[in-house]
Amino acid sequence: MLIVGAGPTGLYAAYYAGFRGLKVAVLDSLPEIGGQITAMYPEKMIYDVAGFPAVKGQDLVDALGEQAAPFEPVYLLGHRAEQLVHGDDAVVVTCHTGLVVTAKVVLISGGIGTFSPRPLPAADAFDGEGVVFFVPRLAELADLDVLIVGGGDSAFDWAMSLEPLAKSITLVHRRDKFRAHEHTVQRVLASSVEVITSAEVTALQGNGRVESAVITAKEDGAQRTVPAQAVVAALGFVADLGPMSRWGLEQRKRHILVDSTMRTNLPRVFAAGDIADYDGKVKLIATGFGEAATAVNNAMTVIDPSAKVFPGHSSDSG
């Protein structure tokens, strides 16, 4: 089995495929396993994974990697899948690096596909450093004046997480209403974070590295300058299936349609996790884990028609 995507769903699929006796390769364009978690919020706490009252993102990725490790999956990191050709008994995937992988089945678990951050217009004219789109390591912003731009969950989560570490935090949002979870919004409003609404960051200032930012009120154009040695542009990301959109997969709103067995419309190609879609879909990490097991078990019957879909319980196998 070739798994395209090394996020939580792909890592759990690597374990489950190994449990079912398959040789597994895991392909990802990023240089590390973990997908969006490792790239965007490794130090954030996750609260909706079964069995964990709370778990840090990177700790969850590490545990998933440890779970799969006994089955020795081959990790092909830094390779972006470009072309897929399916035949009667195999699927061939060619990467942008020239790597060619042939597998009996392919499981696409690429999250939202490739993702790129929405730009902060004020940063276009600023040549220095200090502007980031996510915070892989909170400690890197310790003792700094931090400016966070955005009104969604990421902006408020980072404000809450950085508040004990940063020298000061200012959060700017162009509207007076927020997209973030209400509970988190209330916690931030009750903290030392200064929240400025109906305003935009119109300029960044500094010599080589950002030192301050100009904030302009949308209603009357009034301006103020705040210190900022770090700017977190939490404006969201644009998702793109990239080359996968040309593989002939049936899609709906940049997602891959699957049936109840997680099969796509292409022979020997399955999908699971956030990239997969069907009526009633709920996008949770926990959902992806179940979809991964469903996909692997049904893929077994494609590889070996004599195999059973249900393998029995792991507690019976030792």
Amino acid at 292: A
2: left (phi over 0), alpha (psi -120 to 50) or beta: beta
Closest C-alpha to 68, from 286, 289, 283: 289
Annotated binding site for FAD: 9, 28, 36, 41, 81, 115, 274, 315
Confidence of residue 236 (pLDDT cuts 50, 70, 90): confident
User: What pLDDT, on the 0 to 100 scale, is given for residue 114?
Assistant: 59
Q: What count of other Cβ atoms lies within 10 Å of the Cβ of residue 147?
A: 28
Q: Exposed/middle/buried for 34, CB within 10 Å: 0-12, 13-18, 19+?
A: buried
Mean pLDDT for the stretch of residues 36-44: 77
pLDDT at 45: 84
Question: What is the predicted pLDDT for the residue at 52?
Answer: 94
Q: What percent of the chain has pLDDT over 70?
A: 97
- 3-class secondary structure, 7: coil
The pLDDT, as a whole number, for residue 31 is: 82
Which of the two residues, 29 and 194, has the higher pLDDT score? 194
Quick one: DSSP state of residue 121?
A: G
- Domains located in the chain, CATH noted: 2-116+237-316 (3.50.50.60), 119-233 (3.50.50.60)
CA distance 264 to 279: 14
Residue 46 backbone class (left: φ over 0; alpha: ψ -120 to 50; beta: rest): beta
Cβ atoms of 8 and 60 closer than 8 Å: yes
Cα separation of 51 and 141, whole Å? 31
Residue 112: is its pLDDT beyond 80? no
Say what the pLDDT of residue 91 is.
97
pLDDT computed for residue 143 by the predictor: 97
What pLDDT is stored for residue 11 in this prediction? 98
Share of the chain above pLDDT 90, in %: 72
The confidence band for 116, taking pLDDT boundaries of 50, 70 and 90, is low
Residue pair 184/157 in contact by the 8 Å Cβ criterion = yes
pLDDT at 240: 65
Asked whether the predicted pLDDT for residue 39 surpasses 80, the reply is: no
Question: Residue 244: what pLDDT?
Answer: 86
* pLDDT (mean) for 208-232: 95
Is 90 exceeded by the pLDDT of residue 318? Answer: no
The CA dihedral of 106, 111, 114, 116, to the nearest 10 degrees, is -170
Q: Is the pLDDT of residue 74 over 70?
A: yes
Q: What gap in Å lies between CA 307 and CA 111, rounded to an integer?
A: 29
Average of per-residue pLDDT across 11-38: 92
Interval 294-314: pLDDT, tens: 999 999 999 999 999 988 888
At residue 11, what is the residue type?
L
